[in-house]
Amino acid sequence: MAPRLQLEKAAWRWVEKVKPEDISQEHVELAYRVNLPACKRGACRRNCKGNPNCLVGIGEQAWLGEIDENAFHNIDDPNSERRDKNTFVGLTNLGATCYVNTFLQVWFHNLELRRSLYQCHNSRAQEHNIESDYEPESICEHLQYLFALLQNSNRKYIDPSGLVKALGLDTGQQQDAQEFSKLFMSLLEDTLSKQKNPSLQNVIQQQFCGQFSYVTVCNQCGRSSALPSRFYELELNIQGHKNLTECVTEFLKEEKLDGDNRYFCESCQSKQNATRRIRLHSLPPTLNLQLMRFVFDRQTGHKKKLNTFIGFPEQLDMAPFLEVKKDKKCVYELSAVLIHRGISAYSGHYIAHVKDARTSDWYKFNDEEIEKMEGKKLQLGIEEDIAETVKSQARKPKCSKGYHCSRNAYMLVYKLQEEESTDSSGTVVEVPAFLQRLVDQDNHKFEEWCCEMADMRKQSVDKGKAKHEEVKELYELLPARDGEPYEFIPLDWLKKWLDDSTATKEIDNTSFLCSHGKLHPDKVADSKRVSLQAGQLLYDRYGGGPRLDGSSLCRECVGQRCRVLRLKNQLNEDYKEVSNLVKRTLSGEGYWVGKASLRSWRQLALQQLEEDEHETKHSNGQTNGQGPHTNDSKEFSTELPEGNEEEMKTFNEDIVCSHGGLSILETERKLVSPEVWTKLRAYFPQALEFTQNQEPCQQCLTLEQEEKDNEAVSKMMALDQKNQLTSLFHEKNRPTLTKWPQDTDVLYIVPLFFVDEWRKFIRRPTKSSPVSNVGNSLLLCPHGGFMFTYDSLINGDTQHIALLWPSEWEVIRRLFIVDQPISIHCIKQTAPTGYTTQYTTQPDLCWECREGFLFQQQRDLREYTQATIYIRKVIEDQRMIKEAAPEQNASSSEAEEEREEPSPKVDGEKDPDFSQSQDGAKRLKLSDSSSTAAAIPAANVTKLGGIRRSTRHRKLRGEKALIVSANQTLKELKIQIMHAFSVAPFDQNLSIDGKSLTDDSATLGSLGVIPESIICLKADEPIADYAAMDDAYQVRMPEEGFKGTGLLGH
């Protein structure tokens, strides 16, 4: 089928030969494309919008033929959330809580700990009403309930958010897993020690606690001293070792104490060389071995991960390491391996491999996912391939039978091997009745949810099947046969009807109506012609309206469109004729036409015709903008000046003044002949008509004369003021404070803002407003005191003022309104040592406001936010990189900014740097550190000699600007510098004004970094440690660990 534009063109091709009054029903049906052939299935890739009879590709493909029931719903099978038989229950990862989930699974599989927790007294759970949800409070209550759910829940995984919330953990921040293990065990031990049942008070010690002692032997006298200690886990250094035996051996290795580290011997009563070692006395039933993979790197100042391969056995004989040899065996079996995936200490993922105490099967616990290992063997799997991206990784060593090797294992859990027994009661832990009641309650809720989801799936399927039958029935009836009654249905509605994901609403045809209440010709492309029988069924089932049948074809709209299209075709001929007529010499009477209108009349005519073409639209009466033809003719260019036709909306509006009369600007209008005006008036019947004898607007003429008079007065005023203040205007012979003039003891002060505005008026009196008020209140505080001292004026505050000679001040007083005279006096006094000079101001300095202003200024330098500082990179010999040369890519407008004066704000009410005093004068806001500078435009900074200079910072090569805040730490700044210069924080040496910045925890404000500061960066040679670089990128804020959580609240 032809494209849509071709179909539209073909629908109106007949207008070239048919006048509006000769239109027949055949022409109307052609315009509405009633008789276009319908498309067959497979003939169109997508629906033909220009053909109202094309019913292919509107969404029917999804309903024709056999359909899978799953296509009728988007609800997952609730049984996918159900726990499989003979499997364990997973734990939901709440964001970054995988480290918590791994330990919970390990502790759950410690049968003795689980059994003991079930025995803890819990009156709240025992007395709980099952009609409401159970909410544990204490840590014991949370663990009891969580372990009971892990044991007997019907769910595939459960949510540990109750426990995590009770501990106060941040679910979005990954923490140190080993530290969490220690703190949680300490918290649990403290909680259980308060139980009334004596057998529960020492559960943690009985299961996890062993004993060793630090034994120190004096080399001088041989005296031995032992310091006994308990341990809950052995922290083993893995750096430089290959297997677990080497790590334990080093842990117990003898250490020499000499030099500054000598030992104070009680017998010798002096510091002596000595040896120290750890002696193991007893081991717990559950032996936790922490492999110290996460260590503090002194060079980088951050933690890093050691990706070292460590071999460990499935059976570990600890007897050789015990100080006192025992008769009974001390063999441990591996029961859990905790894994950290990833190369960085600040990111990655935690999983646990745990051995089932009942079946000896190994399982991998990965949050919600649980995988059973094949053949009752530990298989670390892909966890050992995660760190392959780290450079210089050693190959995985071969492991003998009964051994495993890992570079990601960070904790090993061994259980004391027990003698084989036929009694299985030791491996069975029953859930107490009061907890099982709560589990049953949760299981009941889960089953209800499963039923509800299943019902929703069934309802969706039933609804889909019914819709399937409806579509198959109605789609066959949709096509309208030739000569039979028909209706128009919106295409969008049909598509939504066939789209099962959206609810089908009633049929709405209101936006398709023309002003005559019938179907607009333009809306045919957005509707489909269907049979009367199909339309009746759709309206019966879904309702809506108004219904559009064969009688809804609008003859009036077709006639109007015919007239407009014919005028469009005539427009080109009329345009050529008008162009020729305008060039002829006018004889006799004429009509005034705007030159801009005459230049763009064809474009305006097209716009007018488009408006006429669409004026019958129901709710969208805007025009289509410019027509398809643009005025590229230059026939008028020799006699008509260029205008701004883009803003033209109606013909002749360019010669209509604001009062509705003829414009007084004769250069903007042209006389045309009555013949030309008649042709133009045919296209613009609403245009204003001005005959040759039409008088220009009298109000405009009066205003023009007044404007000329005012300009003359302004010129005279400017010339008079310039003649009286010539030196001030030309900045010649200006007084300075650094070298006080000899012939006067007083100078007067006015704001530089006043002088700059006055000079603007003198230069362009007709374009600028005359200055009437000096505005000295800008330089005074709210109490009327002067804001500057003589010394501050010498040291830079002169950028805000202008100095006047007494004679100039007299002229100023005559010509302008002076709200408050300000002067500075030089008083010379005779002293024994000679002459002394004293400077005073009138009004006097207000010390209170001056000190407040200085204090606020200093405070703002320390308490800034979103300020700019500059980081300048230096090379080895400490010289700046090409210091003398500014950056080539700096703003090219700097020179212009130095030459040009920005227009200062005059409206004090709108300027945030001004406040309005009671007498209406503008005063400085001393509460704003920028107020003094802002009172006079900052760009007009003058030296004492009166030469204006730019205060803009010039960036040099090797220098970059950063946005910082005063409360930001140096560590955070180093992270910004790392991203800007690709220099790691540990390779950065920063200094400001020769002072090194070394305290990473200090704030920039406390280090003396103020806005516009320049910090020098010297970069050390980079260290080829990719994991450390990754760690540096991960660190954004100082580590707070578990500060503020419930783990430190006991």
Condensed to tens digits (0 to 9), the pLDDT of residues 286-343 reads 999 999 888 877 777 777 888 888 899 999 998 888 887 766 778 999 999 999 888 8
Q: Cα(704)–Cα(709) distance, rounded to whole angstroms? A: 9
- Going by the DSSP 8-state scheme, the letter that residue 248 receives in this structure is H
- Long-range (24+ apart) CB contacts under 8 A made by 618-626 are 618/510, 618/511, 618/512, 618/513, 618/514, 618/515, 618/520, 619/510, 619/511
| C-alpha neighbours within 13 Å on the C-beta side of residue 679 | 20
Q: What is the mean pLDDT of residues 211-238?
A: 90
Q: How far apart are CA 236 and CA 246, in angstroms?
A: 10
pTM over 0.85: no
Q: Which segments within 888-986 are labelled E, that is strand?
A: 914-916, 922-924, 941-942, 948-949, 959-964
What three-state secondary structure class fits 513?
strand
CA distance 617 to 975: 61
pLDDT category of residue 42 using cuts at 50, 70 and 90: low
* Residue 953 binned pLDDT confidence (cut-offs 50, 70, 90): low
**Confidence band (pLDDT; 50, 70, 90) for 904?**
very low
Q: What are phi and psi of 667, to 5 degrees?
A: -70, -15
Structure tokens at 968: 């930001």
CA angle (523, 528, 529) in 5-degree steps? 110
Q: Say whether pLDDT at 937 is over 60.
A: no
Gap between the Cα atoms of 593 and 590, Å rounded: 10
- Angle formed at CA 656 by CA 654 and CA 661, multiple of 5 degrees: 165
CA gyration radius, the chain: 46
Distant-in-sequence, close-in-space partners of 440: CB < 8 Å, separation ≥ 6: none
- What three-state secondary structure class fits 62? helix
Quick one: what percent of the chain has pLDDT higher than 90?
A: 15
CA 20, CA 31: separation in Å to the nearest integer? 13
Q: Percentages helix, strand, coil for the chain, rounded to the nearest 5?
A: 40, 20, 40
Residue 598: enclosing H or E segment and its boundaries? helix 595-599
* pLDDT tens digits along 845-855: 888 887 777 77
Please report where in the chains the tokens 């946005």 appear, as a residue: 963
Q: How many helices (H) and strands (E) does the chain have?
A: 28, 40
Q: Each residue of 563-575: pLDDT tens digit?
A: 888 877 777 788 8
Counting every residue written for the chain, the total comes to 1050
Q: What are phi and psi of 1033, to 5 degrees?
A: -65, -35
Residue 266's pLDDT is what?
87
E strand or H helix at 362, and its extent?
Answer: strand 362-366
Which of the 8 DSSP states describes residue 885? S
398 vs 400: CA distance, rounded Å: 7
Q: 865, 965 in Cβ contact below 8 A? A: yes
Cα dihedral 496→502→506→508 (10° resolution): -50
Q: Which residue among the candidates 98, 120, 514, 554 is catalytic per the annotation?
A: 98
3-state secondary structure of 267: coil
Query: Mean pLDDT across the stretch 808-833?
Result: 87
Question: Which residue in 290, 295, 336, 301 sits closest to 109, CA to CA?
Answer: 336
pLDDT of residue 670: 87
pLDDT higher than threshold 70 for residue 552: yes
Instruction: Give the residue-averaged pLDDT of 584-598.
Output: 84
- What is the DSSP track for 396-416? PPP--TTEEEESSEEEEEEEE
Between these two residues, 258 and 621, which has the higher pLDDT value? 258
Closest C-alpha to 487, from 524, 521, 531, 449: 531
Our answer to whether residue 468 is catalytic in this structure is no
pLDDT at 1015 over 90: yes
Does 90 have pLDDT greater than 90?
Answer: yes
Judged against a pLDDT cut of 50, whether residue 885 lies above it is answered with no
Residue of 870, 1034, 1012 whose CA lies nearest to 955: 870
Taking Cα atoms as reference points, which of 640, 708, 700, 702 lies closest to residue 668? 640
The share of the chain scoring above pLDDT 70, in percent, equals 80
Phi, psi of 289 (to 5 degrees): -115, 110
Residue 330 annotated to the active site? no
Type of residue numbered 194: K
Among 349, 353, 404, 800, the active-site one is 349
Measured in degrees and rounded to the nearest 5, phi and psi for residue 398 equal -75, 140
Mean per-residue pLDDT, 143-160:
91
As given in the structure block, the two tokens for residue 418 are 């027990």
Beta pairing partners, 723: none
Query: For 622-650, what is the mean pLDDT?
Result: 41
Euclidean distance between CA atoms 902 and 910, whole angstroms: 17
Left (φ > 0), alpha (ψ -120 to 50) or beta: where does 302 sit?
Answer: beta
Q: Which SS3 state, helix, strand or coil, does residue 157 take?
A: strand
Edge to edge, the sheet with strand 224-231 lists 224-231, 210-218, 274-282, 255-257
H or E segment at 988?
A: strand 988-992
> How confident is the model over 660-719, as pLDDT tens digits?
888 888 888 888 888 888 888 878 888 888 888 888 888 888 888 888 888 888 899 999
Cβ atoms 604, 684 nearer than 8 A: yes
- What is the pLDDT averaged over residues 354-361? 89
pLDDT, residue 954, reads 59
Whether 552 contacts 34, CB under 8 Å:
no
Which among 167, 142, 155 has a CA at the least distance from the CA of 435?
Answer: 142
Cβ-based neighbours of 867, under 8 Å, separated by 6 or more: 963, 964, 965, 966, 1010, 1011, 1012
Gap between the Cα atoms of 250 and 908, Å rounded = 77
- Distance, in Å, from the CA atom of 94 to the CA atom of 160, rounded to the nearest integer, reads 8
Residue 796 or residue 276, greater confidence: 276
